[in-house]
Amino acid sequence: MTDQNPELTCQQFVEFIRDHMEGSLPADVSASFKAHIALCPPCVDYLDALHKTRDIAKLACTHPDDELPPDLPEGLVRAVLASRRKSS
């Protein structure tokens, strides 16, 4: 472990995203998480896309017949669906 280094790698960032979105990220991790956002535009894009996907997933829940927009990366959809399965 690298407790003395507060910086997250992109992989750690991705692992913490779900906790972040659920609001269950510990304060110290949350600080590192936000620091990573400031340093890593690709992760900002990823997080933004995940938020959009989650919103769409909510809509899909309300309107199960609606199709997902075709420009949504399939990997993101799978990730959201997988996390929903785990958390329910």
For residue 57, what are the CA distances in angstroms to 7, 31, 85? Answer: 31, 27, 12
Is the dihedral angle over the CA atoms 28, 85, 59, 49 positive or is it negative? positive
Residue placing its CB nearer to Zn ion in the complex, 34 or 58: 34
Residue placing its CB nearer to Zn ion in the complex, 43 or 80: 43
User: Which x/- pattern over 16-55 shows residues binding Zn ion (rule: CB under 5 A)?
Assistant: ------------------------x--x------------
Interacting residues toward Zn ion by CB under 5 A: 10, 40, 43
